[in-house]
Chains A and B, each alone.
Chain A
């Protein structure tokens, strides 16, 4: 009796059924993973909404005065979304943070600075303040617009300044190499070339990638960095959460030993519980 043909048919059907089962299990696994991510996104959105409405108790009070200077990095492709940028700045200003640095790699925000400044009464450019140490005394909002040219390119220009100083000192017969090439001299040189802004306390990154895209490196030595996601997904609740995280993680350095402290200090606090309404752009209903 010839069993070859039935055997081939059997293998054929086993193979077919195996393929179908394999594909089904493949798609099932992906469906499960997709569902998990979807659920996480929903929960995140819900949490953000609850924070915005002031319904989550722990986010009701923010020690805002801990943030003297806030930096916001926006990916250049999204920097043209001026309305989103203005919305974000409005939220930040409403929370009581008045000194803000805006950065995008290609300088698109610099081109929009007049439009942005127009939206905030009394806001002035950081470059128009005389000294960094007067910054905190400014009652009004200050905005600094920064791009790649204020980062590595500025350091190169500052290096030129130091080199000129070095050449002059050698020509005068003194050898001050060690004094001239120091961190403090570099900081002064950066101010000379117009890129000597303060070190931000907190840097928020709006963009798909979790990197600061060339923000002036000299200024982020101890800056806390938080990634917020794309600007188009801007949420008030996420902003509150990021600020809360920063303001509650007080690190006190004792002889370079880090100690976490949760004591309540006499900072200016913002009570988010009074208003349930998320601040919006002037003129919106």
Chain B
């Protein structure tokens, strides 16, 4: 039986709304055969108030219709694909596509912070991307450096913690220094953790985890027989967060692959492949991805642990 949740905000006149919970319905599940809503003396539509706050002290804004705050994924991962194609379609240079991509990312970071998502991991640059033309690679790295410098203050003020994962050995020294500074400056922020994967690949992550384990074994911290999946997970680069496994992966531009991103971590991640190119992926498209995730959660309950 089709079961949908179609929430209409209301509140009985004699009760106060729950803080932080804006959209609610009078029953948990709606379908054609569900019982009629309990009768209240009167109903009133209520708009969210901006001065409600969540547990982390940030303002809570109204969620788009159909989304539930309780069912928000804790960790969303994004493969930001399609900048180059977007630029080609518009007759612009590739650099314009990447600039537009940064704007999309900025919007997504704001939305994640507002909607209670705790971790956002984005695939900015993969190890395979190093073989692109040097001009493009240099532009991408300088764009990343500029974005970090420009947004550092904004991250600090809006409670966003920045972490960068990937093989840093090939990154320019100036960028490395800036990354360390931003990570240090924002390490105590708790509203949202933005993890940027630069020069990253899923296979590299697993291999470096094994290398770290070997070092620990060399120092006598662990024995050979201790090596299991848990130990590898502890050494993966995503150990910088309390929620290392994405609940939802979004890939834009219509490609149906994970392209060497978070290979180990995606075992039980809901995969959402969007047709739009990354610069065109905005609030509406994000809501669609989240709705799809929440619908599936509602229908099929918990996942494997």
- The residues of A with any CB-CB pair to B shorter than 8 Å are 15, 18-19, 22-23, 26-27, 29-31, 33-34, 37-38, 105, 151-153, 155-156, 159-160, 162-164, 166-167, 170, 177, 181-183, 186, 208-215, 217-218, 220-227, 255-258
Contact = CB atoms under 8 A, between A and B. Distances in A.
Interface string B205-227: 01110110110011000001001
Given A37-B2, A155-B232, A186-B203, A223 B257 contact: yes
B6 A33 contact: yes
Interface string B26-62: 0000111000110101110000000000000000000
A42 to B, nearest CB: 13
Contacts of A29: 6
Contacts of A34: 2, 4, 31-32
Interface string B271-288: 110000000000000000
B150 to A, nearest CB: 28
B210 A211 contact: no
B202 A217 contact: yes
B270 interface: yes
A37 B299 CA distance: 15
A163 B260 contact: no
User: Which among B32, B132, B256 has the highest number of chain A CB atoms within 10 Å?
Assistant: B256
Give the bracket for the number of chain B residues in contact with chain A: 35 or more
B4 A33 contact: yes
12 contacts: A31-B32, A37-B2, A152-B232, A163-B210, A163-B227, A209-B268, A212-B266, A212-B271, A221-B202, A221-B258, A255-B132, A256-B132
B228 interface: yes
A127 B268 CA distance: 26
User: Which among A167, A182, A217, A225 has the highest number of chain B CB atoms within 10 Å?
Assistant: A217
B304 A213 contact: yes
B84 interface: yes
B58 to A, nearest CB: 30
User: Which among B37, B210, B211 has the highest number of chain A CB atoms within 10 Å?
Assistant: B210
A157 to B, nearest CB: 8
A127 to B, nearest CB: 22
Contact of A221 (B36, B259, B299): B259
Contacts of A159: 210, 213, 227, 232
A220 B263 contact: yes
A50 to B, nearest CB: 23
B6 A256 contact: no
B129 interface: yes
Contacts of B296: 208-210
Contacts of B43: 18, 22
A26 B258 CA distance: 40
A170 B219 CA distance: 13
B229 interface: yes
Nearest to A163: B214
A209 B213 CA distance: 33
B170 to A, nearest CB: 15
B128 interface: yes
Given A181-B210, A183-B203, A222-B260, A208 B232 contact: no
B32 A162 contact: no
Contacts of B91: none
B30 A30 contact: yes
A209 B131 CA distance: 35
B267 interface: yes
B92 interface: no
A183 B207 contact: yes
Contacts of A38: 2
Nearest to A22: B43
B197 to A, nearest CB: 15
B23 to A, nearest CB: 15
Given A163-B217, A211-B271, A186 B210 contact: yes
A170 B218 contact: yes
A226 B256 contact: yes
A209 B270 contact: yes
